[in-house]
Amino acid sequence: MSIRDQIVDELLRRIKFSFGQTSRIYAGDGGVWGSWGRELPCFHYYEMPDSRKLIGNGLYDIILPIQLEYFVKLTRKAGVFEEGREKLQQVQAAIELDERFTVYMNVDNDSKTIKTDNELCVSYEMRTCEIAEILDNTLGVGLIYEFRYVDKFLGYEKFRH
């Protein structure tokens, strides 16, 4: 499994651990145009194109942005930003557990984890966040996290003559 896949798996594991194993999580952009056909609350995640910088023979410094959107029913129409900030803090608390996005293993579904030694990133950070009422009484909290890691690509070796 690639580092990229492991980062996505750990991100989804952290969300499910904090928000419940039955949390609805959809792959792909959660953009809403006109109507909403999904049950709330739910998450959408979207793996954006990564950027790669060659730092050695077959070694890349990679930045992977992942867009995460959390949609919930708004309880008070006048409290969009208050509720949005609360939801944003919940998402941050779920994701930002450590500095290098270490893999955790669930001991059981919702109460205990074990930290492993598998660090996935050099660093990660939230680059952008947005809070908006996307439709009547539907609150959207959108974030973009950038994960920076180093990975090898040795596939070119078999094409050399």
Question: How much is the pLDDT for 157?
Answer: 53
- Whole-angstrom distance, CA of residue 101 vs CA of residue 96: 8
- Whole-angstrom distance, CA of residue 80 vs CA of residue 84: 6
**Which of helix, strand or coil describes residue 81?**
helix
- Whole-angstrom distance, CA of residue 49 vs CA of residue 35: 27
Could you tell me whether strands 59-73 and 51-56 are parallel, antiparallel, or unpaired per DSSP bridges?
Answer: antiparallel
Answer yes or no: are the C-beta atoms of 46 and 143 closer than 8 Å.
no
Domain that residue 97 falls in? 3-159
- Whole-angstrom distance, CA of residue 11 vs CA of residue 32: 23
Question: How much is the pLDDT for 30?
Answer: 54
Question: How much is the pLDDT for 155?
Answer: 63
pLDDT digits (tens, 9 = 90+) for 91-108: 999 999 899 998 888 766
| Count of domains observed in the chain | 1
Give me the residues paired with residue 104 across strands: 115
Any idea what the CATH number is for the domain that residue 47 is in? 3.30.2000.10
Question: How much is the pLDDT for 134?
Answer: 83
Burial category of 94 from C-beta neighbours within 10 Å (exposed 0-12, middle 13-18, buried 19 and up): middle
- Whole-angstrom distance, CA of residue 45 vs CA of residue 125: 16
Question: How much is the pLDDT for 161?
Answer: 45
- Whole-angstrom distance, CA of residue 111 vs CA of residue 103: 16
For the chain (161 residues), the mean pLDDT of every run of 10, in chain order, is 92 92 81 62 92 90 95 88 95 93 76 82 94 88 96 64 45
Question: How much is the pLDDT for 69?
Answer: 92
- Whole-angstrom distance, CA of residue 139 vs CA of residue 144: 17
pLDDT digits (tens, 9 = 90+) for 84-93: 999 999 999 9
**Minimal CA–CA distance to 41: which of 81, 68, 9?**
68
Question: How much is the pLDDT for 107?
Answer: 64
- Whole-angstrom distance, CA of residue 145 vs CA of residue 10: 13
